[in-house]
Amino acid sequence: MITHTPHRVALTSAALVAAGLIVTSSSATAQETLRGAADEQGLRIGAAVANGPLSNESQYRDVLSTEYNGVTAENSMKWESLQPSQGQFNWSDADEIVDFAQSNGQSVHGHTLVWHSQTPNWVQNLQGQDLQDAMENHINTVMGRYAGDVESWDVVNEPIGDDANLRNSFWMQELGEDYIAEAFQIARSADPNAKLYINDYNIDGINAKSDAYYDLVSDLLDQGVPIDGIGFQGHRVLGDVPSSLEDNIRRFAQLGLEVQLTEIDIRIDTPASDSELEQQRDNYEEMVNACVSVNGCVGVTTWGITDRHSWVPDQFDGQGAALPFDENYNKKPAYYGILEALGGEGDPGNGNGNGDTACEVNYSANDWGGAPGFTASVDITNTGSGTIDGWTLEFTFPGDQTITDSWSADWSQSGADVTATNASWNGTIGPNQSISIGFNGSYTDSNPAPTEFTLNGEPCTTG
């Protein structure tokens, strides 16, 4: 069907917004930030916070307060920071983070009370009852100070090793495995309102280590040990999100626990290519989606905000680019992956996060030889990671072409401007899928091909 009246808005803009295809205005609505979208879902979107940039960089503070509704101290609530020598507590860095959170209406997840790492030598050198007393004193003092300010605590961090056995740490050696239950008992009485977590890495998927956690936590719960939640840290490598993540979250939730992804980052060999950043977007989206999909999963935290400040390059030579903001605080594709998983509206869902090309158009015209007529076929490929659900293609003829007959879309032409909207049966284009539409046209002198195409207002590449 062909009409020659202007027919530029085949789908109302409301319909496009509903389909997640366009950004309607420049003024941010709540769901155009991670924080707004997470708030809508009743979920925590947290960031690990470092004191250096918190004190020194206004952009860091701005992004942290705008985009996140929760914070975790990256280092300043660890034992070595809070009680570097026995009985001497140093609160200033931890307080700075708690104060910031309170000023900005954010919840604080405490990290961490009992760990084998970043715990001073004076603790590691204690024996038996002395170590037990130090643990009790530390938990009581720290949780007591922040009671009402810190919503949840990683009470015991990483108590199981990579071999899926209880880690043979100084805690284990001196106190036996009961130290875990005892830490939780002490924590419950230190602040009865705080949620008490156990937390570890490489337990995101169903594997021997997460199985060991499942058994450990089930036993602790059976014994009446007050454990409220489990944190899957979520330090991942590009392309390595376990497919069992959601099922794993669900099985722990079914024990009655809260689950959080507490330390997400996804590292890439640097420099990261555009396609790797796209893949990272998908990986982030998958991880956050897994949490969103399970009722007991209460939130996700990224281990940092910006690639400018991340533990990854320090720890893994040649790797980095692991966080949702780049080194200059620009939103990366990963940001939009998280936003989309949280049901946010800020991104056209086109897979590249920059609001530009999500489509490729291949236009080819077959001249009928001699006669001033031609048949054009137009192939549209969705090059983004999201599904396109309803589309409008627009382009302009460079010459005096006129469409005379058309198919597979609702075509219209106004002057040299052409608009095609989907037919009822080809409105949905999945990622990497193509559809083909076409028309017959006539012209006078020459038949140059159009060179610029937009789909739902977004420019497409041409093949």
Which positions are catalytic? 158, 263
State the sign of the Cα–Cα–Cα–Cα dihedral 438, 440, 443, 446.
positive
Window 313 to 332, contacts with ligand 9MR (CB under 6 A): none
Please report how close the Cβ of residue 338 comes to ligand 9MR at its closest, in angstroms: 19
Residue 120 CA to residue 328 CA, distance in Å, equals: 35
Query: Which residue's CB is nearer to ligand 9MR, number 118 or number 404?
Result: 118
Binding mask 221-250 for ligand 9MR (x = CB under 6 A): ------------x-----------------
Residues 135, 114: contact at Cβ < 8 Å? Answer: yes
Task: Check binding of 75 to ligand 9MR (CB under 6 A).
Answer: yes
Q: Which is nearer to ligand 9MR, 263 or 276 (CB)?
A: 263
Any contact of residue 311 with ligand 9MR (CB under 6 A)? Answer: yes
User: What tokens were used for 201?
Assistant: 């890495």
Q: Does residue 414 interact with ligand 9MR by CB under 6 A?
A: no
Which of these, 127, 129, 142, 106, lies nearest to 34 by C-alpha position?
Answer: 106
Q: Please, which residue, 203 or 403, has the CB nearer to ligand 9MR?
A: 203
Closest CB to ligand 9MR among 31 and 72? Answer: 72
Task: Indicate the DSSP class of residue 174.
Answer: H
CA 87 to chain centre: 39
Binding flag, residue 173, ligand 9MR (CB under 6 A):
no
Site string for ligand 9MR, 367-406 (x = CB under 6 A): ----------------------------------------
Residue with nearest beta carbon to ligand 9MR:
311
Closest approach of Cβ 44 to ligand 9MR, in Å? 17
Q: How far is the CB of 53 from ligand 9MR (least distance, A)?
A: 12
Residue 76 lies near ligand 9MR (rule: CB under 6 A): no
Q: Cβ distance 229 to 257 under 8 Å?
A: yes
159 contacts 104 by C-beta, under 8 angstroms: no
| In the complex, least distance from residue 315 CB atom to ligand 9MR, rounded to whole angstroms | 6
Taking the complex as a whole, the smallest distance from the CB of residue 118 to ligand 9MR amounts, in Å, to 5
Q: Is the peptide bond before 431 cis (omega within 30 degrees of 0)?
A: no
- CB of 201 or CB of 443, closer to ligand 9MR: 201
The least CB distance from residue 303 to ligand 9MR, in Å, is: 6
Q: Which of 103, 118, 127, 396 binds ligand 9MR (CB under 6 A)?
A: 118
Of 204, 263, 285, 458, which one interacts with ligand 9MR (CB under 6 A)? 263
By CB under 6 A, what part of segment 181-210 binds ligand 9MR? 201
Strands 235-237 and 152-157: unpaired
Does 140 help bind ligand 9MR (rule: CB under 6 A)? no
State the Cα–Cα distance between residues 209 and 206, nearest whole angstrom.
8
Q: In the complex, what is the shortest distance from the CB of residue 119 to ligand 9MR, in angstroms, rounded to a whole number?
A: 10
Cβ at position 97, least distance to ligand 9MR in Å: 14
Amino acid sitting at position 455: L
Token pair listed for 457: 């207002």
Closest to 321 measured CA to CA, from 283, 261, 265: 265
Q: In the set 32, 67, 74, 389, which binds ligand 9MR (CB under 6 A)?
A: 74
Encoded tokens for 199 = 């937390």
Residue nearer to ligand 9MR on the CB measure, 81 or 352? 81
| Bond into 462 cis (ω within 30) | no
Which H or E run contains 341?
helix 333-341
DSSP assignment of 1-64 equals -EE-S----SS-HHHHHHTT-----SSPPGGGSHHHHHHHHT-EEEEEE-HHHHHH-HHHHHHH
Residues 6+ apart with CB under 8 A from 252: 213, 214, 217, 230, 259, 296
Q: How far apart are CA 260 and CA 254, in angstroms?
A: 14
- Token readout for 252 is 């722990």
Task: Tell me whether residue 79 or residue 397 sits nearer to ligand 9MR (CB atom).
Answer: 79
| Number of residues forming the site for ligand 9MR (CB under 6 A) | 8
117 binds ligand 9MR (CB under 6 A): yes
Q: How far is the CB of 377 from ligand 9MR (least distance, A)?
A: 53
Alpha carbon distance 457, 462 (integer Å): 15
Q: Which residues sit opposite 269 in a β-bridge?
A: 319
Contact 94, 138 (CB under 8 A): no
Nearest alpha carbon to residue 161 among 147, 184, 177, 144: 177
Binding positions for ligand 9MR, rule: CB under 6 A: 74-75, 117-118, 201, 233, 263, 311
